[in-house]
C-alpha cells in the first residue's frame, strides 16, 4: 500500500531528470559544443584546486551546524565535517529532493553519540537557517544587480527575483512559526495513514520531545546568530569558485559580479529542488544571469560543468564513505544477535 502511494513521486523524479538532462543537452548544442570543450580544455588540471576550494564553504557550513548541537555530546570538528560532506554528497547526486542527505545526517550524528531528539532538532533548525541565509544571499545578489545596471531586462529579472524571494521568506517564516507550535506533533497526526504502524508509534512518542528541543534551540539567540553568520559567510565564499574559474579562463570577473552570478544561479537551483541535482536548473540559471552580466553562454556552461565535476569528485567518495559507515554499523548490530541466537540468517528469517 505504501509502495503505491510513492509511485507518482518516483515517476515525477524520473520525468524531471529526463527534462533536466534534455535542457542541458539543448543548451550545450545551441551555444556551441566546440567552444565549451575549448573552455574546459583551458581549465584542465585547474579543476583539482577549484574542487578543493569547495572545502572552505563545506567547513563553514559544518561548523554552523555544529553550533546547534548540544555541547555535552557535540562531535569533534572532523566528524561534523565528514557528516556534512556525506549530506552534500547525497543531496547532490541522489534523487532525494535535496533533503535525503539531511535524514542521513541525523542518523550519522546519532551514531556518533548525539541523542536522537537533539540530532533531529539540530537538523531541522540547520535546514531552516540554511534556507533563510540563502534567501538573504539571493536578495543581496539581486540588489547588487539593480545597482550595477539600469537596463530594462536586468531590472525586470532582478525585480522578479526579489518578489520570488519575498514569497519564500514568508514561507520560511511560517515554517519557523510552525516549529514553535508543535510541528512534529501535528505531523505525527497527519501521517497516520502514510506510515507503517511501527514507525508511527515511535514518531508519536518522540514528537513532543523533538518539538521542545527545536524551541529550546531557537531560544539560544547567540547560538542561532553565530550559526546564521557562519552559514551566510559560506554562501558568500561559494562565489570564489566562479571567480577562480573565470580567472583560469582568462576572462577575469570582479568579485561583485561573481557574487551576483553565484547568488542568483543558486536561487534558481534551490527553487527547482525537486529536480535531482538541480539538473538543468543550474545550467539555465547560469546562462540567464551570465547573459545579464555580458557573459557568453559557453562560458556560463563551462562554469556549470566545473561545478558538476566538483560535485562528482567530492560526492562519489562521500557516498562510498556513507555506505561503508552504514554497512559497518549494520554488521556490528548483527554480531550480538548471532551470538545470542547461535544461528545464521536462516533462523532470523524464520523468526520474522
Query: What per-residue confidence (pLDDT) applies to 344?
Result: 43
Query: How far apart are the two ends of the chain, measured CA to CA in Å?
Result: 20
Query: What does the DSSP assignment read for 255-304?
Result: HHHHHHHHHHHHHHHHHTTTSGGGTTHHHHHHHHHHHHTT--HHHHHHHH
Query: What per-residue confidence (pLDDT) applies to 246?
Result: 92
Would the CA dihedral through 54, 45, 90, 323 be positive or negative?
A: negative
Length of the chain measured in residues: 352
State which H helix or E strand residue 59 sits in.
Answer: helix 55-67
Query: What per-residue confidence (pLDDT) applies to 198?
Result: 47
Compute φ and ψ for 94, nearest 5 degrees: -110, 150
Would the CA dihedral through 272, 275, 277, 279 be positive or negative?
A: negative
Query: What is the reported pTM?
Result: 0.81
Query: What per-residue confidence (pLDDT) applies to 158?
Result: 83
Query: What per-residue confidence (pLDDT) applies to 3?
Result: 47
Q: State the cell numbers at 352.
A: 520474522
| 69, 114 Cβ separation under 8 angstroms | yes
Kindly give the interhelix angle for 2-30 and 33-43, rounded to the nearest 10 degrees.
90
Q: State the cell numbers at 210.
A: 523533538
d(CA 7, CA 20): 20
Compute φ and ψ for 247, nearest 5 degrees: -65, -40
Q: What is the CA radius of gyration of the chain?
A: 22
**Torsion-angle region of 98 (φ positive above 0: left; ψ -120 to 50: alpha; else: beta):** left
In the three-class reduction of DSSP (H, G, I as helix; E, B as strand; rest coil), residue 69 is classed as coil
Compute φ and ψ for 244, nearest 5 degrees: -65, -45
| Average pLDDT, consecutive stretches of 10 residues, N- to C-terminus, the chain (352 residues) | 48 58 62 65 86 96 95 93 95 78 91 90 93 93 87 83 83 79 59 51 67 88 95 96 92 91 89 72 85 88 89 93 88 65 42 34
Q: State the cell numbers at 285.
A: 540559471
d(CA 32, CA 29): 5
**Torsion-angle region of 342 (φ positive above 0: left; ψ -120 to 50: alpha; else: beta):** left
Query: What per-residue confidence (pLDDT) applies to 99?
Result: 78
Query: What per-residue confidence (pLDDT) applies to 267?
Result: 87
State which H helix or E strand residue 194 sits in.
Answer: none
DSSP symbol at 195: S
Amino acid at each position: 500500500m505504501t509502495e503505491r502511494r510513492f509511485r507518482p513521486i518516483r515517476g515525477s523524479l524520473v520525468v524531471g531528470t529526463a527534462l533536466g538532462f534534455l535542457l542541458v543537452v539543448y543548451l550545450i548544442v545551441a551555444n556551441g559544443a566546440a567552444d565549451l570543450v575549448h573552455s574546459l580544455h583551458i581549465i584542465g588540471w585547474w579543476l583539482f584546486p577549484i574542487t578543493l576550494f569547495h572545502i572552505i564553504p563545506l567547513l563553514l557550513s559544518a561548523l554552523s551546524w555544529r553550533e546547534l548541537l548540544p555541547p555535552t555530546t557535540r562531535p569533534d570538528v572532523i566528524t561534523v565535517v565528514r557528516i556534512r560532506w556525506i549530506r552534500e554528497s547525497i543531496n547532490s547526486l541522489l534523487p532525494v529532493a535535496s533533503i535525503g542527505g539531511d535524514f542521513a545526517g541525523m542518523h550519522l550524528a546519532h551514531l556518533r553519540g548525539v541523542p536522537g531528539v537533539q540530532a533531529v532538532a539540530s537538523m531541522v533548525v540547520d535546514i531552516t537557517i540554511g534556507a533563510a541565509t540563502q534567501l538573504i544571499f539571493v536578495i543581496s545578489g539581486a540588489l547588487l544587480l539593480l545597482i550595477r545596471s539600469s537596463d530594462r531586462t536586468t531590472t525586470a529579472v532582478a525585480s522578479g527575483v526579489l518578489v520570488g524571494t519575498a514569497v519564500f521568506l514568508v514561507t520560511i517564516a511560517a515554517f519557523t512559526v510552525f516549529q514553535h507550535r508543535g510541528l512534529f506533533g501535528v505531523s505525527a497526526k497527519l501521517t497516520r495513514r502514510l506510515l507503517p504502524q511501527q514507525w508511527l508509534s515511535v514518531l508519536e512518542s518522540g514528537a513532543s520531545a523533538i518539538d521542545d528541543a527545536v524551541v529550546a534551540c531557537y531560544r539560544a539567540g547567540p547560538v542561532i546568530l553565530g550559526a546564521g553568520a557562519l552559514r551566510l559567510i559560506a554562501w558568500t565564499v561559494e562565489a570564489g569558485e566562479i571567480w577562480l574559474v573565470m580567472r583560469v579562463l582568462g576572462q577575469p570577473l570582479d568579485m561583485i559580479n561573481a557574487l551576483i552570478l553565484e547568488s542568483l544561479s543558486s536561487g534558481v537551483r534551490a527553487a527547482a529542488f525537486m529536480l535531482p541535482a538541480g539538473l538543468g536548473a543550474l545550467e539555465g540559471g547560469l546562462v540567464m544571469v551570465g547573459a545579464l552580466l555580458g557573459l557568453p553562454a559557453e562560458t556560463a556552461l563551462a562554469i556549470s560543468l566545473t561545478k558538476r565535476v566538483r560535485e562528482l569528485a567530492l560526492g562519489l567518495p562521500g557516498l562510498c564513505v556513507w555506505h561503508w559507515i552504514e554497512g559497518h554499523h549494520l554488521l556490528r548490530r548483527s554480531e550480538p544477535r548471532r551470538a545470542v541466537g547461535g544461528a545464521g540468517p536462516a533462523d532470523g528469517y524464520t523468526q520474522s
